[in-house]
A and B are shown apart, each in its own frame.
Chain A
Amino acid sequence: MKKIEAIIQPHKLEDVKEALKSIGVDGMTITEVRGHGRQKGHKEVYRGMEYQVDLLPKVKVELVIADARQDEVLRTLTTAARTGKIGDGKIFVYNVADAIRIRNDDRGDAAL
Chain B
Amino acid sequence: MLKTSLEIGTRFVPPRGLRVCLLSLLCAMAALAQNVPPELEKRLADLDKATKAAQMAGDNAWMLTSAALVLMMTGPGLALFYGGLVRRKNVLSTMMHSFILMAVVTMLWAVVGYSIAFAAGTPFFGDLRYLFLRGVGAAPNADYGATIPQTTYMVYQLMFAIITPALISGAFAERMKFSAMLLFTTLWSLIVYFPMAHMVWGKGGLFNASLGGKIPAFDFAGGTVVHITSGVSALICALYLGKRVGYPDESMRPHNLVLSTVGACLLWVGWFGFNAGSAVSAGSLASSAFVATHFGAAAAALGWMFAEWIHLGKPSMLGGISGCVAGLVAITPASGFVQPFPAILIGASAGVVCFLMVTAVKKKFNYDDALDAFGVHGIGGTLGAILTGVFATKEINDVYSGKPMGLIDGNPGQVLNQAAAVGVSWVLAIVGTLIILKVCDLIVGVRASEADELGGLDLSMHGEEGYTLEA
Contacts and interface: CB of A to CB of B under 8 A. Distances in A.
Answer yes or no: are A and B bound together in one complex: yes
Interface string A41-59: 0001111110100000000
A46 B358 contact: no
Contacts of B253: 44, 46, 51
B312 interface: yes
A12 B312 CA distance: 32
A48 B359 CA distance: 5
A45 B362 contact: no
B314 interface: yes
Contacts of B312: 45, 48
Interface of B: 248, 251-254, 312-314, 316, 318-319, 322, 358-360, 362-363, 372
A44 B312 CA distance: 11
A45 B355 CA distance: 13
B252 A47 contact: no
Interface residues of A, number: 7
A57 to B, nearest CB: 15
Given A47-B372, A48-B362, 19 more contacts: A44-B253, A45-B312, A45-B313, A45-B314, A45-B316, A46-B253, A46-B254, A46-B318, A47-B318, A47-B319, A47-B358, A47-B359, A48-B358, A48-B360, A48-B363, A49-B248, A49-B252, A51-B251, A51-B253
B1 to A, nearest CB: 69
Q: Most B CB atoms within 10 A — which of A46, A47, A48, A49?
A: A47
Nearest to B319: A47
19 contacts: A44-B253, A45-B312, A45-B313, A45-B314, A45-B316, A46-B253, A46-B254, A46-B318, A47-B318, A47-B319, A47-B322, A47-B358, A47-B359, A47-B372, A48-B358, A48-B359, A48-B360, A48-B362, A49-B252
Nearest to A49: B248
A49 to B, nearest CB: 7
Contacts of A44: 253
A72 B356 CA distance: 58
Task: Kindly name the residue among A45, A48, A51 whose own CB sees the greatest number of chain B CB atoms within 10 A.
Answer: A48
A36 B264 CA distance: 34
A102 to B, nearest CB: 20
A90 B322 CA distance: 40
B370 to A, nearest CB: 11
A49 B250 CA distance: 11
Nearest to A47: B358
A7 B245 CA distance: 34
A44 B318 CA distance: 12
B173 to A, nearest CB: 14
Nearest to A48: B359
A47 B85 CA distance: 11
Nearest to B318: A46
Contacts of B358: 47-48
Contacts of B359: 47-48
A51 B252 CA distance: 9
A46 B85 CA distance: 10
Nearest to A44: B253
A48 B366 CA distance: 13
Contacts of A48: 312, 358-360, 362-363
A50 to B, nearest CB: 9
B434 to A, nearest CB: 26
Contacts of B318: 46-47
A30 to B, nearest CB: 16
A51 B312 CA distance: 13
Contacts of B362: 48
Nearest to A52: B251
Contacts of A49: 248, 252
B383 to A, nearest CB: 18
B176 to A, nearest CB: 21
A48 B318 CA distance: 11
A51 B87 CA distance: 14
A37 to B, nearest CB: 20
A15 B363 CA distance: 46
A46 B86 CA distance: 12
Nearest to B252: A49
Contacts of B360: 48
A48 B253 CA distance: 11
A83 to B, nearest CB: 25
A46 B254 CA distance: 8
